[in-house]
Amino acid sequence: MNLARQIEQYLPQQLLELVKDISGQAAKRGQRVYLVGGVVRDLLLGYPNFDLDLVVEGDAVKLAQQVAETSQAKLLAHHRFGTAKLRYENFTLDLATARKETYARPGALPAVTPGTLKNDLVRRDFSINAMAISLGANDYGELVDPYHGKSDLGYHLIRILHARSFSDDATRILRAVRYEQRLGFELETQTAQLLKRDIPMLDTISGDRIRHELELILKGKRPEFVIKRLAELGALPRISPFLNGDGWIAEKFDRARRLKKPNQLPSLYFCLLIYSFSERGIEQFLARLNISAKLSRAMRDTLRLKTRLPLLDKSSLKPSEIYYLLREYEPVAIQANAIASDEKEGTPSLIVHHHLQLFLTKLRYVRTSLNGEELKKLGISAGPEMGKVLQVLHKAKLDGEVSTKADEKKLALSLKALDFHTDPEPPLE
């Protein structure tokens, strides 16, 4: 099957001319270049995908270096793996030397050696990702489909290439479900059987690789579908026995998306995922997946704040009291608790939810108009005295007791007469 016409219509003109130029430069070096993987799948499905993967039967790094010299691309080369990335203003191109892989043991990273296109396709995860399109002058646009990926696209199937696929690399279990849910496909019958058989092999995968796959899941449009499916298949407990994919997760993930803060979503999803964890459960999860320090803090804060929510369940709390109760927690942890506490009835109450939202949308942004230099001009010494004056001003600003800079000056001057060796009324902690 020839897809030359589809390629011409699918790729933007600048990108089309670039891949043709790369193929031409490769031909002069006696090499062949192919479009592979996701871009071939998405072209056949009609989905846009302009971050292209090219496989080179030859030295991909040297070819990429040559291309970078004649274009405005930024080159990132990995000589050890025979791969290179060409980054342009609106898209990226990944070039990889065709390779073959062998696995010393289940779950190990593969040993890689140069190979042919056939070798390169057989090492891939699913038939729909194991297709290539030739960019050579003699057979430009010819589809290479040894595992009937195009047919599986038509039947909406996720199919592995061989019976050892999941045992060689159990991260494919997570990817299979991610593709199944993202594309609206189904696991092919034997693939589903082998997936269930090899779920214990997830124990052979490092925490970093599991975390990476989970991050990809949580970057999807509806990650709760993937989480639920992994739970149904019995794979979720292998990541953590404390994880669940029930309706609560689906509802809260949906609420998180309504915030329309896409950059915050993966971290927020993580915090919601562990909302029902015990202290022991969270520490095991963080250690197993080698979670970063920043995200670990947010997840721990989520559970710490959850235990203190009853302190916020008082309608009489002043804004300053709310502020000082919440200021020590990561904002994403507060947001996770706000989503979790958004209930029509029961505990936590809507009062808690209101106070959390008040902090997130208003209180954390409140600042005094006066700064240290201006306080010095009013005769207030730098050091502990000034710090305490600023704290009183801030509390007054939070509680609406001062609203203008003139109000703050008046209050600051009245505080000069106080004995600050005696602490002012401490904030609620």
Out of 291, 315, 336, pick the residue that ends a domain: 291
Tell me the three state secondary structure of residue 187: strand
In the structure encoding, which two tokens stand for residue 87, read together? 């980054």
Element (H or E) spanning 157, and its range? strand 157-158
Residues 283 and 196 grouped into a single domain: yes
User: CA 261 from chain center: how many Å?
Assistant: 13
| Residues 147 and 165 occupy one common structural domain | no
Instruction: Say yes or no: 190 and 272 in one domain.
Output: yes
Q: In 3-state terms, what secondary structure has residue 416?
A: coil
Q: Does an H or E element contain 375, and which?
A: helix 372-377
Same domain, 146 and 11: yes
Number of domains comprising the chain:
4
pLDDT recorded at residue 71: 80
pTM of the model: 0.85
Q: To which H or E segment does residue 250 belong?
A: helix 247-257
**DSSP SS3 for 387:** helix
Please, what is the end-to-end C-alpha distance for the chain in angstroms?
Answer: 70
Kindly state whether residues 35 and 16 are assigned to the same domain: yes
The sign of the dihedral angle between the CA atoms of 42, 48, 50, 51 is negative
Establish if 427 belongs to a structural domain. no
C-beta separation of 370 from 409 below 8 A: yes
Q: Return the sign of the alpha-carbon dihedral for residues 190, 193, 195, 197.
A: negative
In a domain, 28, yes or no: yes
Chain-centre distance for alpha carbon 90: 21
- Both 10 and 150 in a single domain? yes
Residue 83 is inside which H or E element, if any?
strand 83-87
- Return the CATH number at 275: 1.10.3090.10
Name the domain boundary from 228, 258, 291. 291
What radius of gyration, in Å, describes the C-alpha atoms of the chain? 29
| Run of H or E residues at 337 | helix 331-340
Q: What pLDDT is attached to residue 387?
A: 87
pLDDT in 10s for each residue of the chain, 429 residues: 999 999 999 998 988 988 998 999 999 988 999 999 899 999 999 998 888 899 999 889 998 898 888 887 888 988 878 899 998 888 888 999 998 877 767 766 777 788 899 999 999 999 999 999 999 989 999 999 999 999 999 999 999 999 999 999 999 999 999 999 999 999 999 999 999 999 999 999 999 999 999 999 999 999 999 999 999 999 999 999 999 888 899 999 999 999 878 788 999 999 999 999 999 999 999 999 999 999 999 999 999 999 999 999 999 999 999 999 999 999 999 999 999 886 554 445 789 999 999 999 999 999 999 888 888 888 888 888 888 889 999 999 999 999 999 998 999 888 876 655 445 555 544
| Calpha distance 417→396 (Å, rounded) | 18
Q: Is 426 exposed, middle or buried (0-12, 13-18, 19+ CB in 10 A)?
A: exposed
Q: 329 and 289 in contact (C-beta within 8 Å)?
A: no
Q: How many angstroms separate the Cα of 17 from the Cα of each of 9, 184, 370? A: 12, 33, 59
pLDDT at res. 275: 95
pLDDT at position 420, please?
53
Identify whether residues 33 and 44 lie together within a single domain.
yes
Helix boundaries (H) for 378-416? 384-398, 405-415
Using CB atoms within 10 Å of the CB of residue 427, give its burial: 0 to 12 exposed, 13 to 18 middle, 19+ buried. middle
Q: Are 150 and 131 in contact (CB under 8 A)?
A: yes
Residue of 316, 327, 324, 391 lying closest to 354 (CA atoms): 316
Point out the domain boundary residue: 243, 268, 291. Answer: 291
Q: Helix, strand, or coil here: 236? A: helix
C-beta of residue 395 within 8 angstroms of C-beta of residue 427: yes
Q: What is the distance between the alpha carbons of residues 205 and 223, in angstroms, rounded to a whole number?
A: 21
Partner residues linked to 126 by β-bridges: 160
Residues 127 and 221 in one domain: no
Q: Are residues 52 and 82 in the same domain?
A: yes
- What is the span of the domain harbouring residue 406? 372-415
| DSSP E strands, 276-330 | none
Question: Given CA atoms 169, 174, 180, 182 in this order, what sign does their dihedral have?
Answer: negative
Q: Tell me, what amino acid is at 287?
A: A
- Burial of residue 244, with CB atoms counted within 10 A of its CB: 0-12 exposed, 13-18 middle, 19 or more buried: middle
Shared domain for 23 and 54, answered yes or no, is yes
169/280 same-domain check: yes
Contact 315, 352 (CB under 8 A): no
DSSP conformation letters of 13-69 = HHHHHHHHHHHHHHHHTT-EEEEETHHHHHHHHT----SEEEEEES-HHHHHHHHHH
φ/ψ (deg, to 5) at 369: -75, -35
Give the HSE-up count for residue 407: Cα atoms under 13 Å, Cβ half-sphere.
Answer: 12
266 φψ region: left (φ > 0), alpha (ψ -120 to 50), beta (else): alpha
Do residues 199 and 212 share a domain?
yes
Give Cβ neighbours of residue 309 (< 8 Å, ≥ 6 apart).
Answer: 337, 341, 348, 352
